[in-house]
Structure 1
Amino acid sequence: MKLEEYLRPEFVLDDMRSVHKSDVLAELVAPIGVAFADFDVDKAHRVLLEREALGTTGIGDGVAIPHGKMPGLSQIIIVVGRSLTGINFDALDFKPCRLFFLVIAPEHVAGMHLRILAHISRLLSEESFREAFLHAEGRQGLWRVLTEAA
Structure 2
Amino acid sequence: MRLDEYLSKDLIIHEISASTKEEVLAELVNAVCRAHPEVDGRAALKVLHEREQLGTTGIGDGIAIPHGKLSDLGRIVLSVGRSSAGFGFDSLDGKPVHIVFLVLAPEHVAGMHLRVLAHISRLLKDVAFRRALIEAPDANAMWELLSKA
Give the TM-score taking structure 2 as reference length: 0.98
2:83 counterpart of 1:77: no
Root-mean-square deviation (Å)? 0.7
The count of corresponding residues between Structure 1 and Structure 2 is 149
Q: 2:95 — aligned with what?
A: 95
Q: 1:139 — aligned with what?
A: 139
SS in 2 for 1:89: coil
Alpha-carbon distance in 1 for matches of 2:42, 2:84: 26
SS in 1 for 2:37: coil
SS in 2 for 1:59: strand
Q: Which amino acid aligns with 2:126?
A: E
Sequence identity of aligned pairs in percent?
A: 52
Cα pair 2:4 2:148 within 8 Å, conserved: no
2:60 counterpart of 1:39: no
Alpha-carbon distance in 2 for matches of 1:119, 1:59: 14
Q: Which amino acid aligns with 1:70?
A: L
State the 4+ residue runs in structure 1 displaced beyond 2 angstroms: none
Alpha-carbon distance in 2 for matches of 1:43, 1:11: 19
- Structure 1 residue runs without a partner (length 5+): none
Residue 20 of structure 1, CA deviation = 1.0
Residue 137 of structure 1, CA deviation = 1.0
Cα pair 2:69 2:107 within 8 Å, conserved: yes
Residue 38 of structure 1, CA deviation = 2.0
Give the TM-score taking structure 1 as reference length: 0.97
Q: Which amino acid aligns with 2:10?
A: E
Q: 2:128 — aligned with what?
A: 128
Cα pair 2:133 2:142 within 8 Å, conserved: yes
Residue 32 of structure 1, CA deviation = 1.4
Alpha-carbon distance in 1 for matches of 2:37, 2:67: 21
Alpha-carbon distance in 1 for matches of 2:129, 2:29: 24
Cα pair 2:76 2:104 within 8 Å, conserved: yes
